[in-house]
Amino acid sequence: MPAENDAPATDGSASQSVLDFHHGAIIVDTHVDTILRQLDLAHDLTSSNSPGYMDLPRMKRGNLTAAFFACCVDYNNIKRGTARLRQQQIIDAVLNLCARNESIIELARSAADVRRLAAAGKLAAVLTIEGAQAIESNLDSLQSLWDQGVRSIALAHFTTNGWADSSADLERHGGLSSLGRAAIAELNRLRIIIDVSHASDRATDQAIDASSAPVIASHSSVRALHDHPRNLTDGQIRAIAARGGVIGPTLFPEYIYPAFQIAMEEHAAAVLKDMADRDSVQENTPAIATVMRSYGGDMHGKYDSLVTRRLPMPSLDVFMQHIVHIAELVGPQHICIGTDHGAVRFDIPHFEDCTKLPALTEALLAKGFSKPEVAGILGGNVLRLMEEVIGE
């Protein structure tokens, strides 16, 4: 547990001893949308010149050992009726990235795979689905997703679907639907990890209770520190931990930094006036969802919308406050890291991309976490969850 919670975060100039420890650890990011940049913007993820948070060379430099590659179907695909096609395209993009670069990165289907690849000096990609909007009542497809390598599925994203209410949309089910409960039972049977990030409060509470296996909140921060519906209450944090689950605080600035949220909501209110489908935007829709939707087919504008606005960004120490809060509530053994980088670019000062991950390691040590605790937060805790849910 941290002994000096007021210690400042580092400026990114990690000492050699910190670097040695960092590069000896297995580091896992439990939520990145980066594959969308390859698919939609033709970014070359094999090149370190690729814009954004991560690519294969920078993963190696920052020792980002494994990443949960999120396959997320957005509002436009749902509206056009192409959700299932889009989901498969994203899955195929991850599989093809691994197949074409098998000397560098491989698909990991278990924690043992991640450890094996790390020992061999390779990167690992874990396939995840963000939201059931492309699955809905087609629960038979879950077996196919498992066979392709999907190991985690989030119940919802920015829109309420047939399984669960979203934290960013109107409630239709009062939490989980009967279909959602059936889906949880099937996910448990298949040994697919259930992700509650983006789900409404009631859907999150009900999923934790309904699942026979521990759950993950792959990229959710702390509501007690920043009152945003995407964040977890202290009660939810305790409930996830009590059942052996893990929580991955996210760096996404709207969810952790009031100054950013205020500026972003002002921007969203302005763009909303010119949106053709503004009536579809609910009152509690996150500002980032409104802004992204406003770009329509302009993918470059959508993905770079935050960088071009030059909005006030949080420091790494703001992020550390969320980690410390969770540790004080339930212990560091229930924490992982889910940056939520990829689909939209945001540059945290001194933490602009995954080569800066040693700054996070140094900040954790500076807060008073022990080296075993830091190793757990960086990757060991989520590997333990994978072992418990998925098995070897």
Write out pLDDT tens, residues 90-136.
999 999 999 999 999 999 999 999 999 999 999 999 999 999 999 99
- The answer, yes or no, to whether residue 294 has pLDDT greater than 90, is no
Please state the domain extents for the chain. 16-254+305-389
pLDDT of residue 143: 98
pLDDT of residue 310: 82
Nearest to 348 by CA among 229, 257, 268: 257
Rounded distance between C-alpha atoms, residue 86 and residue 47, angstroms = 25
Q: What is the dihedral of CA 339, 344, 348, 349, to 10 degrees?
A: 150
Mean pLDDT, the chain, whole residue set: 92
CA 177 from chain centre, in angstroms, equals 24
Nearest to 353 by CA among 32, 102, 107, 20: 32
| Token pair in block for residue 151 | 């190991």
Report yes or no: 241 and 334 within 8 Å, Cβ to Cβ. yes
Rounded distance between C-alpha atoms, residue 366 and residue 17, angstroms = 13
More confidently predicted of 226 and 289: 226
Computed on alpha carbons and rounded to an integer, the radius of gyration of the chain in Å comes to: 19
Q: pLDDT (tens digit, 9 = 90+) per residue, 215-244?
A: 999 999 999 999 999 999 999 999 999 999
- The answer, yes or no, to whether residue 70 has pLDDT greater than 70, is yes
Cβ burial 325-345 (10 Å sphere, 16+ → b, else e)? bbbebbebbbbbbbbbbbbbb
- pLDDT category at 282 given cuts 50, 70, 90 is low
Nearest to 123 by CA among 175, 191, 65, 42: 65
- pLDDT category at 280 given cuts 50, 70, 90 is low
| Token pair in block for residue 271 | 């763009």
Q: What is the pTM of this model?
A: 0.93
- pLDDT category at 71 given cuts 50, 70, 90 is very high
Q: pLDDT (tens digit, 9 = 90+) per residue, 8-53?
A: 344 457 899 999 999 999 999 999 999 999 999 999 999 987 778 9
Residue 218, helix vs strand vs coil: coil
Q: Tell whether domain 16-254+305-389 is in CATH 3.90.550.10.
A: no
- pLDDT category at 308 given cuts 50, 70, 90 is confident
